[in-house]
Amino acid sequence: MAPKHHPTPFSGGDRKALAKELGRARAMTTILTAQSADARAKGEALIRTADKLLCESFNERLWADGGPIEPSPTIDQAVNGGYPWLGIECSRCRTKRDVDLAVLRHPPTTFVHDLASRLLCSKCAKANRRPAATLLQLATRPRNT
Protein backbone atom coordinates (compact mmCIF):
# COMPACT_ATOMS: atom_id res chain seq x y z
CA MET A 1 0.00 0.00 0.00
CA ALA A 2 1.36 3.40 -0.94
CA PRO A 3 1.97 5.90 1.85
CA LYS A 4 -0.76 8.44 2.36
CA HIS A 5 0.00 11.88 0.95
CA HIS A 6 -0.62 14.84 3.22
CA PRO A 7 -0.47 18.11 1.30
CA THR A 8 1.98 20.50 2.92
CA PRO A 9 0.25 23.66 4.20
CA PHE A 10 1.61 27.02 3.09
CA SER A 11 1.89 28.65 6.52
CA GLY A 12 4.69 27.76 8.93
CA GLY A 13 2.40 27.19 11.90
CA ASP A 14 0.25 24.76 9.95
CA ARG A 15 3.34 22.90 8.70
CA LYS A 16 4.59 22.52 12.29
CA ALA A 17 1.16 21.34 13.45
CA LEU A 18 1.00 18.77 10.64
CA ALA A 19 4.50 17.49 11.43
CA LYS A 20 3.55 17.23 15.11
CA GLU A 21 0.35 15.29 14.35
CA LEU A 22 2.19 12.94 11.97
CA GLY A 23 4.79 12.29 14.68
CA ARG A 24 2.02 11.53 17.21
CA ALA A 25 0.33 9.18 14.75
CA ARG A 26 3.59 7.29 14.12
CA ALA A 27 4.27 7.03 17.86
CA MET A 28 0.72 5.80 18.49
CA THR A 29 1.16 3.19 15.74
CA THR A 30 4.23 1.83 17.51
CA ILE A 31 2.43 1.72 20.86
CA LEU A 32 -0.67 0.03 19.41
CA THR A 33 1.46 -2.53 17.55
CA ALA A 34 3.27 -3.45 20.77
CA GLN A 35 -0.05 -3.73 22.65
CA SER A 36 -1.48 -5.90 19.88
CA ALA A 37 1.51 -8.26 19.99
CA ASP A 38 1.26 -8.49 23.79
CA ALA A 39 -2.49 -9.22 23.68
CA ARG A 40 -1.95 -11.84 20.95
CA ALA A 41 0.76 -13.57 23.02
CA LYS A 42 -1.53 -13.62 26.08
CA GLY A 43 -4.40 -14.94 23.97
CA GLU A 44 -2.28 -17.71 22.45
CA ALA A 45 -1.09 -18.70 25.93
CA LEU A 46 -4.70 -18.86 27.11
CA ILE A 47 -5.69 -20.95 24.09
CA ARG A 48 -2.75 -23.30 24.74
CA THR A 49 -3.88 -23.66 28.37
CA ALA A 50 -7.47 -24.31 27.28
CA ASP A 51 -6.30 -26.97 24.81
CA LYS A 52 -4.19 -28.63 27.52
CA LEU A 53 -7.16 -28.73 29.89
CA LEU A 54 -9.38 -30.15 27.15
CA CYS A 55 -6.88 -32.97 26.53
CA GLU A 56 -6.60 -33.72 30.25
CA SER A 57 -10.38 -33.80 30.52
CA PHE A 58 -10.57 -36.16 27.53
CA ASN A 59 -8.00 -38.49 29.11
CA GLU A 60 -9.93 -38.56 32.39
CA ARG A 61 -13.25 -39.26 30.65
CA LEU A 62 -11.57 -41.92 28.49
CA TRP A 63 -10.14 -43.61 31.58
CA ALA A 64 -13.37 -43.37 33.56
CA ASP A 65 -15.86 -44.30 30.82
CA GLY A 66 -13.74 -46.24 28.33
CA GLY A 67 -14.29 -46.18 24.59
CA PRO A 68 -14.19 -43.20 22.26
CA ILE A 69 -15.62 -40.13 23.95
CA GLU A 70 -17.46 -37.46 22.01
CA PRO A 71 -16.66 -34.62 21.81
CA SER A 72 -12.93 -34.96 21.86
CA PRO A 73 -10.19 -32.45 21.09
CA THR A 74 -9.14 -32.03 17.48
CA ILE A 75 -5.69 -33.06 16.31
CA ASP A 76 -4.44 -29.46 16.28
CA GLN A 77 -5.88 -28.81 19.77
CA ALA A 78 -4.09 -31.89 21.11
CA VAL A 79 -0.79 -30.87 19.53
CA ASN A 80 -1.20 -27.25 20.67
CA GLY A 81 -2.04 -28.41 24.22
CA GLY A 82 1.18 -30.40 24.47
CA TYR A 83 -0.34 -33.86 23.85
CA PRO A 84 0.99 -34.83 20.40
CA TRP A 85 0.94 -38.62 21.02
CA LEU A 86 -2.08 -40.91 20.99
CA GLY A 87 -1.85 -44.31 22.63
CA ILE A 88 -3.93 -46.95 20.85
CA GLU A 89 -4.49 -50.68 21.17
CA CYS A 90 -5.57 -53.11 18.47
CA SER A 91 -8.98 -54.50 19.36
CA ARG A 92 -8.05 -57.90 17.90
CA CYS A 93 -4.45 -58.73 18.88
CA ARG A 94 -4.13 -56.22 21.77
CA THR A 95 -0.90 -54.73 20.40
CA LYS A 96 -0.27 -51.29 21.86
CA ARG A 97 1.46 -48.49 19.98
CA ASP A 98 1.78 -44.74 19.97
CA VAL A 99 0.76 -42.54 17.07
CA ASP A 100 2.33 -39.14 16.47
CA LEU A 101 -0.62 -36.85 15.78
CA ALA A 102 1.58 -34.18 14.22
CA VAL A 103 2.55 -36.40 11.28
CA LEU A 104 -0.85 -37.93 10.53
CA ARG A 105 -2.27 -37.38 7.06
CA HIS A 106 -5.62 -36.28 8.42
CA PRO A 107 -6.84 -32.69 8.47
CA PRO A 108 -5.87 -30.96 11.74
CA THR A 109 -9.57 -30.34 12.43
CA THR A 110 -10.26 -34.08 12.70
CA PHE A 111 -11.51 -35.11 16.13
CA VAL A 112 -9.34 -37.58 18.03
CA HIS A 113 -12.27 -39.94 18.65
CA ASP A 114 -12.76 -40.22 14.86
CA LEU A 115 -9.27 -41.68 14.52
CA ALA A 116 -10.24 -44.91 16.31
CA SER A 117 -11.85 -46.36 13.21
CA ARG A 118 -9.18 -44.99 10.86
CA LEU A 119 -6.03 -46.27 12.57
CA LEU A 120 -5.18 -49.87 11.74
CA CYS A 121 -2.86 -52.42 13.32
CA SER A 122 0.09 -53.29 11.09
CA LYS A 123 0.18 -56.92 12.32
CA CYS A 124 -3.50 -57.49 11.59
CA ALA A 125 -3.27 -55.70 8.24
CA LYS A 126 -0.75 -58.35 7.08
CA ALA A 127 -3.36 -61.00 7.88
CA ASN A 128 -5.96 -59.08 5.83
CA ARG A 129 -7.88 -58.00 8.91
CA ARG A 130 -8.94 -54.44 9.61
CA PRO A 131 -10.04 -54.16 13.24
CA ALA A 132 -10.62 -50.72 14.68
CA ALA A 133 -8.22 -49.37 17.27
CA THR A 134 -9.13 -48.74 20.88
CA LEU A 135 -8.05 -45.35 22.18
CA LEU A 136 -5.99 -45.47 25.36
CA GLN A 137 -5.00 -41.86 26.04
CA LEU A 138 -3.38 -38.71 24.75
CA ALA A 139 0.22 -38.38 25.92
CA THR A 140 2.94 -35.76 26.05
CA ARG A 141 5.56 -38.28 24.91
CA PRO A 142 5.56 -41.84 23.57
CA ARG A 143 5.67 -44.82 25.91
CA ASN A 144 8.93 -46.71 26.28
CA THR A 145 8.33 -50.09 24.67
- Of 113 and 69, which is predicted with more confidence? 113
Q: What is the percent of the chain where pLDDT is above 90?
A: 30
Average pLDDT, the chain: 84
Kindly indicate the confidence band of residue 85, based on its pLDDT and cuts at 50, 70 and 90: very high
Those residues with Cβ within 8 angstroms of residue 9's Cβ, 6 or more apart along the chain or in another chain: 15, 17, 18
Quote the pLDDT of residue 121: 78
- Of 108 and 34, which is predicted with more confidence? 34
Strand 133-139, strand 96-100: pairing: unpaired
Is pLDDT of 145 > 80?
Answer: no
Q: Once rounded to an integer, what is the mean pLDDT over residues 111-132?
A: 79
Q: What is the rounded distance in angstroms from the CA atom of residue 84 to the CA atom of residue 51? A: 12
Write a three-state SS string for 19-46: HHHHHHHHHHHHHHHHHHHHHHHHHHHH
Quote the pLDDT of residue 53: 93
pLDDT tens figures, 1-20? 566 766 776 677 887 888 88
DSSP 3-state assignment of 16? helix
- Of 131 and 77, which is predicted with more confidence? 77
pLDDT tens figures, 15-52? 788 888 888 998 999 999 999 999 999 999 999 999 99
